[in-house]
Amino acid sequence: MLTRIDEKLFNRIHSITNKHNGIGKWMAVITWLSSKVFFALYIGFILIMVFKKDLILIPFIMGPSIAYFITKIIRNSFKRERPFVKLNIKNYIEHAENSSFPSMHAMSAFSIATAVFLVNPTIGIIAFCVAILTGISRIIVGVHFPLDVLVGGIIGYFVTYIVFLLIQ
């Protein structure tokens, strides 16, 4: 039942590309660019903390790392087909036909946004907005169902937040 609801929600979101020509292409750019933005943001903050010899660097690195491994374990346990494979639809980016649950992009985006927010709330709020856009773009380009993105985002947020709480 949950997968049927997830597929219906996916179809509604993805159908935006049929109604508005060009949205799929723009979302493909966003999904590609967001990876680079989060990588640069994460490395930038790490370099600043290393330079300042700030001990907050430890949970800043550990939170996203632990979230990554948890997501990998879950992903290897659930072999969920990607929407473009399962529903035989057009996807707007080239992507392997591997497991889609949970979304690694959403986990990474929300994990980094959480870590940044806990160090610098102003930049963190902007990072959360970009993380939300990243998740939406992954659905619109046809590589993730909404539940993939939601669970990936939840893992990224909560694991990173808990690591910060436990280490501080």
- State the Cα–Cα distance between residues 150 and 126, nearest whole angstrom: 19
Domains observed in the chain: 2-167 (1.10.606.20)
Assessment of whether the complete model's pTM goes beyond 0.85: yes
Q: What pLDDT shows up at residue 12? A: 85
> Is pLDDT at 96 greater than 80 in this prediction?
no
> Is pLDDT at 126 greater than 90 in this prediction?
yes
Cα 94 to chain centroid, rounded: 17
Q: What pLDDT shows up at residue 9? A: 86
Q: What's the number of CA atoms in the CB half-sphere (13 Å) around residue 121?
A: 0
CA-closest candidate to residue 104, choices 72, 141, 64, 60: 72
List pLDDT tens digits, range 40-88: 999 999 999 999 988 888 999 999 999 999 999 999 898 888 888 888 7
Q: What pLDDT shows up at residue 10? A: 86
Task: Quickly state the pLDDT bin for 128 (edges 50, 70, 90).
Answer: very high
